[in-house]
Every structure is written in structure tokens, then in C-alpha cells.
């Protein structure tokens, strides 16, 4: 383990921690005062109560639920963490481990096959040694549509993946790439011709 090289460093930002924790504590104090105010209503003398009890109780319960949701959302801000990555420390391609990517689908009506195939093609176009990257599609429904789309996606990926690697496309998902402004039309005429062909 002495020769292990860290791929990233994790550190907290002290000013953000102080600000977030101060805000959370002040907010919690305000919530406790509000809860005390709501509860004090139920301990008043019945002759002093001018507001109907049921609406007050419903408001109190709904506020308690909102307080709980707020409390659960504070965990990420209690200690914000920032990471610095070092991609230059990655080992050579021949030392990288093989990885398997499983893409699961169950119903072609709820999960359109075209969207699933965009995910498959994006996974195939990852910047990883192709001989160490294995992509599997698991179709629980056994749909003929998914099977046909998988065959078409494989045929398209034979051209799309080399195109992505050749021009260093950041967006490897065909649907997102062709619907976004990442044209690359500033590139060479060869790129424009190949993009048009895609």
C-alpha cells in the first residue's frame, strides 16, 4: 500500500462550513420557537381559543413534515467537501482493470428503446480501452423491440464510437450531441462531412 497513488484529494472549505453550520443552527432555533408557539396553542384555556383546533393541528403537522424535510437536506451542507482530481496519475491503458457495464431495462413502453440505446452507445464510447470495456443490456421483458434496437445500436456504434474518439467529442450520447449546440462546425471540412454522414 506504500506505493498507492491517490487519484484525488478531498478537502473541506472552512468558510463554507462556518457559514452553513451557523445558518443551520440559527434556522433550527427559529424552528424550535415556532414549534413552541404552535404547541402552546393546545395548552391554552378552552375559553381563550378563538381559532378552530383542526386547521391549527393540520398546519402544525404539515410544518413538522417540512421541518423534517429541511433537516434531512442539511446533511450535505454541514461539511461541504471539494475534490481535486488528478487524471494524469491514471495508470497506462494496459494496467487499467476490465470493467463491465450493465444497462437494465424492463418495459419498452415506460423506458423507450431509443433512450436505452442512447445509454448503451454512450457507455460504448467511454474513454477507456475498448478491449477492457464490456457493455451488457439486460431486458427483463424480453422485448423484440429492444432486441432489434440493440442490433441497430451496435451497427451505429461501429461508426459513432470511432467518430467520437477521432474528434474527442465530450458528449458521447448521440441524441444529446445532435440536439445540442456542440456542433464543432468550427472544425475542418472533413469533420463537417463526417458529422453530416453521422
Binding-site residues for UDP-alpha-D-glucose: 110-111, 140
* Cell numbers placing 144: 423484440
- 172 burial via Cβ count (<10 Å: 0-12, 13-18, 19+): buried
Q: Which residues are annotated as a binding site?
A: 110-111, 140
Torsions phi, psi for 63 (to 5 deg): -65, -40
Asked if residue 163 lies in contact with residue 192, where contact means CB atoms within 8 angstroms, the answer is no
Asked if residue 152 lies in contact with residue 119, where contact means CB atoms within 8 angstroms, the answer is no
Asked if residue 52 lies in contact with residue 46, where contact means CB atoms within 8 angstroms, the answer is no
Amino acid at each position: 500500500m506504500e506505493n498507492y497513488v491517490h487519484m484525488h484529494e478531498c478537502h473541506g472549505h472552512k468558510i463554507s462550513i462556518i457559514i452553513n453550520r451557523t445558518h443551520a443552527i440559527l434556522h433550527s432555533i427559529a424552528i424550535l420557537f415556532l414549534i413552541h408557539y404552535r404547541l402552546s396553542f393546545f395548552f391554552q384555556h378552552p375559553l381563550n381559543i378563538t381559532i378552530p383546533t383542526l386547521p391549527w393541528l393540520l398546519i402544525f403537522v404539515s410544518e413538522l413534515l417540512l421541518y423534517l424535510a429541511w433537516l434531512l437536506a442539511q446533511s450535505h451542507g454541514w461539511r461541504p467537501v471539494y475534490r481535486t482530481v488528478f487524471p494524469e496519475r491514471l495508470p497506462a491503458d494496459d494496467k487499467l482493470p476490465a470493467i463491465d457495464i450493465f444497462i437494465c431495462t424492463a418495459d419498452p413502453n415506460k423506458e423507450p428503446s431509443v433512450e436505452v440505446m442512447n445509454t448503451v452507445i454512450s457507455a460504448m464510447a467511454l474513454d477507456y480501452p475498448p478491449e477492457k470495456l464490456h457493455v451488457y443490456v439486460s431486458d427483463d421483458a424480453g422485448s423484440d423491440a429492444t432486441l432489434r434496437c440493440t442490433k441497430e445500436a451496435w451497427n451505429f456504434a461501429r461508426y459513432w464510437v470511432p467518430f467520437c474518439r477521432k474528434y474527442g467529442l465530450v458528449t458521447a450520447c448521440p441524441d444529446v450531441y445532435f440536439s445540442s449546440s456542440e456542433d464543432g462546425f468550427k472544425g475542418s471540412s472533413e469533420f463537417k462531412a463526417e458529422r453530416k454522414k453521422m
